[in-house]
Structure 1
Amino acid sequence: MHQFGVVLLFAWALCAASCKSSPANCESSNELLQDLRTSLSSAAAVYLPGSGEFEVATTRWSKLDAPTPNVVVVPATEDDVAHTVHQANKCGLPILAFNGVHGAMTTLGRMDRGVAIQLGQLSNVTISRDGETATIGGGVLSKVVTDTLLASGKQTVTGTCECVSYLGPALGGGHGWLQGHYGLVADQFVSMNIVLADGARHTIDSTSDLWWGIKGAGQNFGIVTSVTVKVYDIKDRDWAIDTLIFGGDKVEAVYEAANQHLSNLPVDVINWSYWLNMPDIDADKPVILFYIIQEGVTVVDPVYTNPFRDIGPISSEPQSGSYRDLAAWTGIALDSPPCQKAGLANPRFPIYLREYNVTAQREAYDSFASYVGGADSPFTTSIFMFEAYPQQGVRAVDSNSTAFAFRDDNLLVSPLLTYKPAGEEFDGQVELMGNQLRDIIYQGSSRKELHAYVNYAYGDEKPKNWYGYEQWRQSRLQDLKQKYDPKGKFSFFGPVDVK
């Protein structure tokens, strides 16, 4: 059957089922059929439960509390998105837009019916004639943005992982390799096309009151179908990394050295580390995989690497290459295990820090090792992530000017507990474990506020943890929500209206 036949049958069935209980929300079936016939583009697709396409489209990176839509719409144009939202509104159905992988917040599971909009066909990247901006479709992956711009001698800030979308991280702020130069991904926005809760398309920029909320809490207010962002000439094509591996006995030494030598990072240096199992090195406990990355060189400056070599790593591997190599070096390329949909649950429990508390690092490591160490653990592929980026470009932007609030924090820390789903009781145990690990780090920080990166959030945090503790921030977000999405159509990811 031609896909429009599927679309029209879906419209009839959807309204017959959904509108029966709330006829005031729907027009007649004939009108809906005509509306779809005249409004959806020929390349749009609709997938229904039971079809292979539906199963593929709804398979998520994390199976924990995944949403369960009734239908998936794959728009081919920005107008298709607007029409789909309008159609969903007629039948009183909730809406969830998605693309890429890694969205794992448990609040997504609150969608137990509705319309999922898969944005993958909106995948264009167009550089302006003056070379100062690029327009990026709502479904473009970060790698496509990077590769397209690099081919023209340009770059911008994107998320680090190749399989995430460009806009997914951006709407929550968005950390990236180049943020030391230019700020967060959201800080690059110039203007955007957005479909609001009423199904209307708008072009907004800094003159809109919504602009503030979009830059950090953007998933709450609409579906961004394209965005125009600042792009920059490539300054340095060389990148280098030194990958050091330490045993768990070196936790205190490694993170004390990180505090001493890699705090307040220069604009061209990035430091990540993972705690993870590497059975060939240690069969019983996680090791510390420690990355020092530098831009503009072919060998990382010894001033950064020598303090860690002096600790006595198990191994040290220097490499040189280009920006395109960063994801593979750090294990987050398209073909890396973290980018695969393997039927696992992947909750994270993030916290921002200013510096490491070495005592807390040891306690967290020992606890983490007790959960994930050894081949018999159900969490054997889990990791504990520590991300440190240069902050100059981030702090150059006034914190009050965006919904992203945590510009003074230096470190993004998060356990990622990966496991095969085994029922709600087991999920509850994992929640306790993850929060216990995060709480060790939090208590060690001696801070009164728990700052959590919304894009990594587990889902049990509060809006103040995602968007800032200041009352004026919470009030402003609530006011924007009431103005632009009063019925809560977009409330499944980091919802600002959760008490």
Structure 2
Amino acid sequence: MWPLRQMLQPRHVLPIHFDNIIRINILMMQVKYCAGKNIPFFAQNGGSGWAALNLTNGIIIDILPLNKVTFNTDKTQATIGGGVSVAEAMAAGAAAGAFILTGNCDCVGALGAYLGGGYGNLMGAYGFGVDNIISFNLVNAEGELKTVTEASDPDLFWAVRGAGPNFGIVTSAVIKSYPDSNLTAWSTALVFPGEQITDVVKAVEALRPNLKPSQNVFLYLTNNNGPVILVTGFLLHATVEEGKAAFAGLYALNPVFENSGVLPYAQWNAGAASFCLREQRKPGHSVGISQLHPEQWQEIWDRYVEFRNKPGAENSVVIIEIYNLAKGRSIPSSTASWPHRDVNAQAIVIPWYTDASLDNDAIAFAQKVRNIWKSTETKSTTYINFAQGDEGLEAIYGDSLPRLQTLKRKYDPENRFNQWFNIQ
């Protein structure tokens, strides 16, 4: 979120104002203008991508004002504007008494997260974000607005759900929502000293294949007046007793700090608020992994401590995200272009600092940690929303890449949409 690309200066930022119909018409005209003048452009909502952005002499089209959320009568479908943030989507869901699958960081664009695959706290119950899209409105390379469904255009519906920014600007989407009389989950935060790194990793790995359907666990190397290990846990609809029982193996390690409780839906992401800080350098690197290897983690810890001890780098973080994937894997991979349902966990390293003189050290640190994880994997995979840009298209798009490239030539032959892991 706001990595090195925050320093790149586009030629202009074009906002969209007025009501939604006028906003979308302006957006269509902006795309036509840029295409006609051969000006590079990029649509932005949350501005939270980690990848480098090559738009030093182009235009960013700001779609933040497209931020309405509406529901159908029975609250089983929500229409999400292209400018809606995760926080806005969750607040609307809470007010309507219905869950909306979102990412876990409030400032991220809700639909941007969806179109890349869509991890989130509710995926154990409802699948990935791409599985919850019913239809979407898209401004294409000709500046035309079209509504896309699986029935109306199965190829484009498939392609956008995994590689959306290559095919157009999604102005809104109709997604599944889930009415619920109990919009709560149990959450915990457990802190351990660095000396316990191997034991904590063993406990997290033991939990990974045994997660309950709506349970997830995250492992962090992070800062709390010094480097510490943080484990967070989530269990939908659980009581305090049920939650602690589900994470008994970690509680047995006697954390030095524990904070747990039942949280309302709109507050689930509060613990990740620091990730939304702007004007920071965060060149994140990540890879999908099949499991945690405890023997790797003393070296990872040592490298983390070495880098975060540099002046100004104390907020750097290493993250493992693990979800119950049974629901998502029950849906065939062929239904969407997003290819990585078989990945068991997301491994992420984020050097975090403000001084540009640390750039080289930061990249070296991140690549070293990522390479440790990759050394025990049989193939390299990267979740597009966590990607840096040096991974290669095969790691991002997997087996979907050849078909995506064919469809790119059909739907965007001039390669107008070329700023986000361009598949041409």
Question: Which category of TM-score, normalised to the shorter sequence, fits these structures?
Answer: over 0.9
Structure 2 distance, partners of 1:232, 1:320, is 20
Question: Is the 1:236–1:295 Cα contact (8 Å) retained in structure 2?
Answer: no
Shift of 1:65: 6.2
Assess, with a 3 A threshold, how the Cα gap between structure 1 residues 427 and 409 changes in structure 2: closer, same or farther.
Answer: same
1:290-311, Cα deviation, whole Å (9 max, x unpaired):
1122111230433323221222
Structure 2: runs of 5 or more not aligned: 18-22
SS of the residue 1:301 aligns to: helix
Structure with max Cα Rg: 1
Matches within 5 A, 1:24-423: 61-64=2-5, 66-76=7-17, 77-106=23-52, 108=53, 110-207=54-151, 208=153, 209-234=155-180, 236-279=182-225, 283=226, 286-299=227-240, 300-328=242-270, 331-332=271-272, 336-341=273-278, 343-373=279-309, 376-422=310-356
SS of the residue 2:356 aligns to: coil
Aligned to 1:34: none
1:315-369, Cα deviation, whole Å (9 max, x unpaired):
22222221222111xx22xxx322121x221111111112111111222112111
Shift of 1:139: 0.4
Question: Is the 1:172–1:219 Cα contact (8 Å) retained in structure 2?
Answer: no
Shift of 1:152: 1.6
1:45-91, Cα deviation, whole Å (9 max, x unpaired):
xxxxxxxxxxxxxxx83344644321221123211111110011121
SS of the residue 2:268 aligns to: helix
SS of the residue 1:104 aligns to: coil
Match of 2:367 among 427, 435, 452: 435
Shift of 1:278: 1.4
Residue type of the alignment partner of 1:440: I
Shift of 1:264: 3.9
Match status 1:466 vs 2:396: yes
Assess, with a 3 A threshold, how the Cα gap between structure 1 residues 202 and 94 changes in structure 2: closer, same or farther.
Answer: same
Structure 2 distance, partners of 1:461, 1:262, is 26
Residue type of the alignment partner of 1:273: L
Identical pairs, percent: 28
Question: Is the 2:105–2:275 Cα contact (8 Å) retained in structure 1?
Answer: no
Structure 1 distance, partners of 2:182, 2:329, is 22
Residue type of the alignment partner of 1:249: E
1:433-480, Cα deviation, whole Å (9 max, x unpaired):
21111001111xx22211111111111111111111x3xx22101111
Question: Is the 1:62–1:344 Cα contact (8 Å) retained in structure 2?
Answer: yes
Shift of 1:220: 1.0
Assess, with a 3 A threshold, how the Cα gap between structure 1 residues 202 and 67 changes in structure 2: closer, same or farther.
Answer: farther
Assess, with a 3 A threshold, how the Cα gap between structure 1 residues 302 and 71 changes in structure 2: closer, same or farther.
Answer: closer
Q: TM-score, normalised by structure 1?
A: 0.80
Structure 2 distance, partners of 1:62, 1:214, is 25
Aligned to 1:479: 406
Q: TM-score, normalised by structure 2?
A: 0.94
SS of the residue 1:350 aligns to: strand
- Of 414-423 and 61-70, deviating more is 61-70
Larger strand fraction of residues: 2
1:125-184, Cα deviation, whole Å (9 max, x unpaired):
111134321111110111111111221211121111111111111111111110011111
Structure 2 distance, partners of 1:393, 1:301, is 21
1:2-57, Cα deviation, whole Å (9 max, x unpaired):
xxxxxxxxxxxxxxxxxxxxxxxxxxxxxxxxxxxxxxxxxxxxxxxxxxxxxxxx
1:69-120, Cα deviation, whole Å (9 max, x unpaired):
21221123211111110011121101100011321201x1x11212211001
Question: Is the 1:262–1:304 Cα contact (8 Å) retained in structure 2?
Answer: no
Structure 2 distance, partners of 1:175, 1:412, is 10
Question: Is the 1:100–1:164 Cα contact (8 Å) retained in structure 2?
Answer: yes
Structure 1 distance, partners of 2:199, 2:367, is 25
Structure 1 distance, partners of 2:361, 2:220, is 23
Question: Is the 2:121–2:234 Cα contact (8 Å) retained in structure 1?
Answer: no
Aligned to 2:20: none
Question: Is the 1:238–1:298 Cα contact (8 Å) retained in structure 2?
Answer: no
Structure 2 distance, partners of 1:380, 1:302, is 30
Question: Is the 1:136–1:228 Cα contact (8 Å) retained in structure 2?
Answer: yes
Of the two structures, which has the highest relative contact order with CA contacts closer than 8 Å and spacing of 6 or more?
Answer: 2
Aligned to 1:37: none
SS of the residue 2:213 aligns to: coil
Question: Is the 1:193–1:225 Cα contact (8 Å) retained in structure 2?
Answer: yes
Q: How many residues align?
A: 416
Structure 1: runs of 5 or more not aligned: 1-59
Structure 2 distance, partners of 1:491, 1:80, is 21
Structure 1 distance, partners of 2:256, 2:41, is 50
